Amino acid sequence: MAEQQQDTGGPQPTGPVPDQKEKDSRLWGTLCHLSALAGCVIPFAGCVVGPLVVWLLKREEFPFVDDQGKEAVNFQITMLIAGVVAFMSVFVLIGFVLLPAVGLFDLVMIVIASMKANEGERYRYPVSLRLIK
């Protein structure tokens, strides 16, 4: 015999699952870091624009995104400054080593920060100017 479902007659619960807000917060926090990869498409300032846009859109809704967005923007500003210095040092030949090193360091830190944010951990970059507090 097939079991029949009972109708409780009352309203069924709707809306997000209790943990959905936390999952959304972690997702947007992760996107704060990953959006810096837009710098591959928009040279120079693109690495700052992506995290800035995500942070500005979601900082009021999620405290975790506010924290991680500031962190991502500060780090990308730091990497932008380091990239400009490395680019200028190309003229004295040391920039040929520094420029790829800065780019690789930025990429590795973005991946690490994204993974930590996805786990719900408030990540702090090891080298970052704290311009936005």
* Residue 64, domain member (yes or no): yes
* Residue 108, domain member (yes or no): yes
The residue-averaged pLDDT of 8-17 equals: 57
* Residue 129, domain member (yes or no): no
CA 110/CA 130 separation, integer angstroms: 17
* Residue 39, domain member (yes or no): yes
Question: 62: domain range?
Answer: 21-118
* Residue 27, domain member (yes or no): yes
* Residue 91, domain member (yes or no): yes
Tell me what the pLDDT averaged over the chain comes to.
Answer: 85
CB count, 10 Å around CB of 78? 18
CA 76/CA 50 separation, integer angstroms: 10
* Residue 46, domain member (yes or no): yes
* Residue 14, domain member (yes or no): no
Per-residue model confidence as pLDDT tens digits over 30-70: 999 999 988 767 766 678 888 999 999 989 999 999 999 99
DSSP state, 121? -
- Number of domains the chain is built from: 1
The model's pTM: 0.79
The residue-averaged pLDDT of 100-111 equals: 93
